[in-house]
């Protein structure tokens, strides 16, 4: 049994961590961190935890927390984890950071896209990008894991086999993505009010979304090329879910069988990536509340382009579920422990 602390436990991703870890056989949550609700009972913030979690919310003192737990999850805005972490803390405890602080290896790129100074660049090289299906062995040895973003997880896993096998022109990739409103967090924002979101769909962060360099970097590692792509996210009126539709030019002579073999090569043994049957398109409703990613593709012979599709729950595989999957690998637990969540429907 290990002890866990969560900094940022009262955000949507933090609450999802609490929900998942409450059912985890190997973990006890010892610290519910929240700057906004210090000394307030956790169930008073999330009534679904009434008679399940009776603890009060604590602050975000990582130095004190590192002496009390074995793993710290930071479900916080960009910049906070980097401002708190140091060598003494990492010598005592393992950290899974759900922010973007350690995802991008180039400090200048991070500072350009996020508009803030990186407070602990000395740990960027050490941090492991926690996409378990790709970096599993490195995650097992890590003491600091950068948990990928929701859009990036869906985009990378959807495209990765074709990038890795050299089946597509990496300079031709266009990613169209949709997200439910929980991806914007729990803070009060006019753009996320019911009247603003309901019966509406809109693009945002066009040509400027912060997940763009993360996707480019990881697909660059896969393909061995410098990748430049278009990524356009959209907000849709639902609570949860990411749907990615990506387009690329196929290399000469690539067939359906070639592409299917590539997906099967990388995902046939993966518990949480489901390659769907031919002509079945991923849908967010079939992964909601679960750690699954559904992927599939369609070749358009008329244009010699391929349409790659993926769907996941942004709060589970796109955030908290992936964080727990990383923790399981870091501590040698069964990778699926706490995560065998059957998708909810309706």
Domains and CATH numbers, the chain: 2-126 (3.40.50.720), 151-313 (3.30.360.10)
Percent pLDDT > 70 in the chain is 100
- pTM (global) more than 0.95: yes
How far is C-alpha 125 from the chain's CA centre?
19
- For residue 151, pLDDT beyond 80: yes
Position 192 scores a pLDDT of 85
Distance CA 41, CA 85 (A): 26
For the residues 317-337, what does the mean pLDDT come to?
98
What tokens appear for 72 in the block? 């710290």
In this prediction, residue 191 carries a pLDDT of 87
Q: How far apart are CA 53 and CA 116, in angstroms?
A: 35
pLDDT of residue 32: 98
Q: CB–CB of 145/160 below 8 Å?
A: no
Catalytic residue selected from 81, 132, 150, 154? 150
Cβ neighbors of 340 (< 8 A, separation 6 or more) are: none
DSSP annotation of 184: G
The mean pLDDT of 209-233, rounded to a whole number, is: 98
More confident of the two residues 80 and 187? 80
> For 95-147, what is each residue's pLDDT tens digit?
999 999 999 999 999 999 999 999 999 999 999 999 999 999 999 999 999 99
pLDDT at residue 188, as a whole number: 77
Q: Is the pLDDT of residue 76 over 80?
A: yes
- Please provide the average confidence, as pLDDT, over all residues in the chain: 97
Told to judge if 154 belongs to the known catalytic residues of this protein, a careful annotator would answer no
* Matching residue, tokens 């967090």: 185
What is the rounded average pLDDT of the residues 320-346? 97
Residue 221 has pLDDT above 90, yes or no: yes
| Residue 205 vs residues 59, 180, 192, 202, 305: alpha-carbon distances, Å | 32, 15, 15, 10, 26
Q: What is the pLDDT of residue 186?
A: 87
Rounded Cα distance between 187 and 201, Å, is 20
Given this model, what pLDDT does residue 4 score? 98
Residue 182 has pLDDT above 80, yes or no: yes
Element (H, E) at 96: strand 94-97
DSSP annotation string for 202-233: EE-STTT-TTHHHHHHHHHHHHTS----EEEE
Pairwise CA distance, residues 68 & 123, whole Å? 22
- Interval 243-296: pLDDT, tens: 999 999 999 999 999 999 999 999 999 999 999 999 999 999 999 999 999 999
């Amino acid at each position: 049994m290990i002890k866990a602390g969560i900094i940022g436990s009262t955000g949507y991703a933090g609450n999802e961590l609490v929900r998942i870890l409450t059912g985890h056989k190997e973990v006890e949550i010892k610290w519910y961190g929240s700057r906004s609700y210090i000394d307030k009972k956790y169930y008073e913030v999330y009534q679904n935890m009434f008679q399940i979690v009776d603890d009060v919310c604590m602050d975000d003192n990582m130095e004190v927390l590192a002496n009390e737990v074995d793993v710290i999850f930071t479900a916080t805005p960009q910049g906070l984890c980097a401002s708190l972490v140091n060598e003494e803390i990492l010598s005592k405890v393992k950290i899974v950071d759900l922010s973007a602080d350690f995802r991008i290896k180039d400090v200048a790129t991070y500072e350009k896209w996020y508009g803030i100074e990186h407070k602990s660049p000395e740990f960027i090289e050490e941090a492991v990008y926690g996409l378990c299906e790709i970096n599993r062995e490195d995650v097992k040895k890590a003491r600091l894991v950068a948990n990928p973003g929701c859009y990036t997880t869906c985009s990378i896993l959807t495209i990765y086999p074709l990038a890795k096998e050299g089946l597509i022109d990496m300079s031709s990739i266009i990613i169209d993505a949709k997200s439910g409103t929980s991806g914007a967090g729990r803070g009060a924002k006019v753009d996320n009010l019911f009247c603003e979101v309901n019966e509406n769909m809109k693009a945002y962060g066009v040509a400027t979304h912060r997940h763009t360099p993360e996707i480019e970097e990881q697909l660059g590692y896969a393909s061995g090329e410098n990748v430049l792509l278009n990524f356009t996210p959209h907000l849709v009126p639902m609570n949860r879910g990411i749907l990615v539709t990506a387009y690329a030019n196929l290399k000469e002579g690539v067939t359906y069988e070639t592409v299917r073999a590539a997906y099967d090569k990388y995902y046939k043994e993966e518990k949480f990536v489901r390659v769907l049957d031919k002509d079945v398109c991923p849908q967010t409703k079939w992964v909601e509340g679960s750690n699954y990613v559904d992927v599939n593709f369609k070749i358009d012979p008329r244009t010699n382009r391929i349409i790659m599709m993926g769907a996941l729950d942004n709060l589970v595989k796109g955030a908290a579920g992936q964080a727990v999957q990383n923790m399981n690998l870091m501590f040698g637990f069964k990778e699926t422990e706490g995560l065998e969540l059957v998708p909810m429907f309706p």
